[in-house]
């Protein structure tokens, strides 16, 4: 079905080849995974298959789909191919959805674009009814409520946006589906549902699956291709590659699955160490205020909950997509409206401008998506400087260099732009911006989700080193329960906007009390042994 032969390509502004002598073949119904670190060329190769990136120049080679060279097709032929025969699920759902259109309209757009070819006998109302029927079918398949068809992208969680992007791609039952990190932002329950959906689609479509999650790749792919610096270093069946990797780089990727260890925090009696509590929430709820014609109404999206955070402690927050994890983070910074009580160093934070300003000096946030959390028009130094406010130039320069050094980046990167950095480097910049103000609490919203396993391990190691050096406390939001089990002292599990489990990490993972928490933990660790490793690995 797809035949890539001796492909060499580079970016237009660079003479260095980003893809070198790439050759691979994909048969109908085959599931092929592309793995490698950030910057290895996985996404670049995927985009070239559909000729999506105008900044990539092909030097030599060919990409043939059903014996047609994609690189020589006209724009009209490419438009006919995209979305009908070959579909692409992008890595960043936040930037792939139009913020001005409701998600239902965006999902069925591709169906209307190819209606003449796919449904030549349908017109007008009959075509509209077909689109509505297909939309309802897809929303059920991806596990979204039908009411969300009328929502805008900003009203959805990261995982819900990713599912919408998947629905947009599969609506026309393409022959080849290119999945660029399709489960990155999803919790384990939805991830399993999506992987089952992709497996069922593989009966009628070939799938190119790009992922840094080697556990998912092992279970899903028939064949695995390993890329490093734009070259294929190993290609083998999934079973052979994981059981007997031949290349040293492949062994390095598999070894990266082992997470860094953390020294356990000494557990002392809460009443005797009240002065060590840096943040406390009492019956804190989070919501949004909607302005009506005559009055505004407060809609609660996170029910009242209570927790505390000690100095040097890591509080892990987990839950399915849309459970309220990011809403809680935004509520703690008063970026969403809250009700209830919040205490910083045992002093109540009131909703005055002065108290909120003090709160945001003490709590810094690292956002989920390093690609969209950095302004593309600012240099790295200016991005970090923005967090410092009005400081003398020399003092700013020292602080920027210190933040870059603390996060393991070279000071020369202060003059670079975000697009010149890899995903792992972007996330380090986001962390540098957060720690440059020397906060007491770091609020981390999925800080390793968009990274490959080796970069993820480096970032987690960095965060543990920073915590020890700066004596910070962390609130760590993630879908990866293995990270929480190893790193967190306390765990808070949310489900549909309600706190269903809260307690010591060891107790929660060994003996969860709520049905929802037990289901989430069993879904994640169901195929793992007591050490958290794959049984067959």
pLDDT at 172: 92
CATH architecture of 277-525: 3-Layer(aba) Sandwich (3.40)
The answer to whether the CB of 253 falls within 8 A of the CB of 278 is no
pLDDT in tens, 22-58: 999 999 989 999 998 877 888 889 889 988 888 888 8
pLDDT in tens, 202-211: 888 899 999 8
Q: Give yes or no for residue 264 having a pLDDT over 60.
A: no
Q: What is the pTM of this model?
A: 0.71
Fold match, 2-255 / 277-525: yes
pLDDT in tens, 64-86: 999 999 999 898 999 999 999 99
pLDDT at 209: 93
pLDDT in tens, 424-459: 788 889 999 999 988 999 999 888 876 777 777 888
Per-position DSSP letters for 273-333, written without gaps between them: GGGGEEEEEEEEEEEEEEE-SS-EEEEEEEEEEEEEEETT-EEEEEESTTSSHHHHHHHHT
Band of pLDDT at residue 274, cut at 50, 70 and 90: low
Tokens of 356: 């909120």
- For 157, other C-beta atoms within 10 Å of its C-beta total 20
Domain boundaries, the chain: 2-255, 277-525
Whether domain 2-255 has CATH 3.20.20.220: the reply is no
In this structure, the dihedral spanned by the alpha carbons of residues 330, 335, 337 and 339, taken in order and rounded to 10 degrees, is: 60
Band of pLDDT at residue 163, cut at 50, 70 and 90: confident
Band of pLDDT at residue 268, cut at 50, 70 and 90: very low
């Amino acid at each position: 079905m797809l035949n890539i032969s001796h492909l060499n390509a580079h970016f237009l502004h660079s003479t260095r080849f980003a893809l070198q002598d790439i050759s691979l073949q994909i048969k109908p119904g085959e599931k092929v995974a592309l793995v490698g670190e950030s910057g290895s060329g996985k996404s670049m190769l995927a985009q070239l298959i559909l000729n999506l990136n105008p900044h990539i120049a092909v030097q030599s080679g060919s990409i043939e789909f059903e014996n047609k060279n994609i690189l020589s097709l006209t724009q009209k032929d490419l438009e006919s191919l995209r979305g009908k025969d070959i579909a692409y699920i992008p890595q960043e759902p936040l930037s792939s959805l139009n913020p001005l259109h409701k998600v239902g309209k965006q999902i069925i757009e591709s169906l209307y674009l190819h209606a003449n070819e796919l449904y030549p006998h349908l017109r007008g109302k009959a075509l509209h009814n077909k689109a509505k029927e297909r939309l309802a079918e897809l929303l059920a398949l991806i596990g979204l409520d039908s009411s969300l068809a009328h929502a805008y992208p900003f009203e959805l969680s990261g995982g819900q946006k990713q599912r919408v992007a998947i629905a947009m791609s599969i609506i026309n039952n393409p022959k080849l589906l290119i999945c660029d990190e399709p489960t990155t932002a999803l919790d384990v329950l939805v991830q399993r549902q999506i992987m089952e959906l992709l497996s069922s689609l593989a009966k009628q479509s070939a799938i190119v699956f790009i992922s840094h999650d080697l556990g998912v790749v092992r279970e899903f792919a028939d064949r695995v291709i390993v890329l490093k610096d734009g070259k294929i270093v190993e290609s083998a069946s999934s079973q052979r590659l994981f059981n007997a990797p031949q290349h040293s780089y492949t062994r390095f990727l598999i070894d990266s699955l082992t997470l860094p260890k953390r020294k356990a925090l000494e557990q002392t009696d809460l009443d005797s160490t009240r002065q060590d509590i840096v943040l406390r929430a009492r019956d804190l709820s989070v919501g949004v205020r909607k302005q009506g014609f005559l009055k505004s109404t407060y809609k609660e999206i996170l029910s009242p909950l209570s927790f505390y955070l000690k100095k040097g402690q890591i509080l892990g927050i987990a839950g399915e997509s849309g459970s309220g994890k990011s809403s809680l983070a935004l509520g703690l910074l008063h970026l969403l409206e809250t009700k209830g009580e919040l205490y910083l160093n045992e002093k109540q934070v009131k909703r005055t401008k002065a108290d909120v300003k003090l709160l945001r000096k003490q709590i810094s946030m690292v956002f989920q998506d390093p690609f969209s959390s950095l302004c593309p028009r600012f240099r790295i130094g200016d991005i970090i400087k923005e967090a410092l406010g009005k400081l003398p130039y020399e003092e700013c320069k020292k602080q920027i260099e210190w933040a870059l050094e603390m996060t393991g980046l070279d000071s020369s990167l202060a003059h670079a732009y975000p697009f010149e950095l890899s995903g792992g480097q972007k996330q380090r910049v986001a962390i540098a911006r957060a720690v440059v103000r020397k906060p007491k609490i770091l609020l981390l919203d999925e800080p390793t989700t968009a990274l490959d396993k080796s970069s993820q391990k480096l970032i987690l190691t960095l965060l543990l080193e920073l915590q020890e050096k700066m004596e910070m406390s962390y609130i760590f939001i993630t879908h990866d329960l293995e990270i929480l089990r190893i790193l967190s002292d306390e765990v808070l599990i949310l489900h549909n906007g309600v706190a269903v489990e809260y307690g010591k990490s060891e107790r929660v993972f060994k003996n969860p009390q709520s049905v929802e928490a037990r289901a989430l933990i069993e879904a994640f660790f169901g195929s793992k042994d007591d050490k958290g490793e794959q049984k067959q690995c």
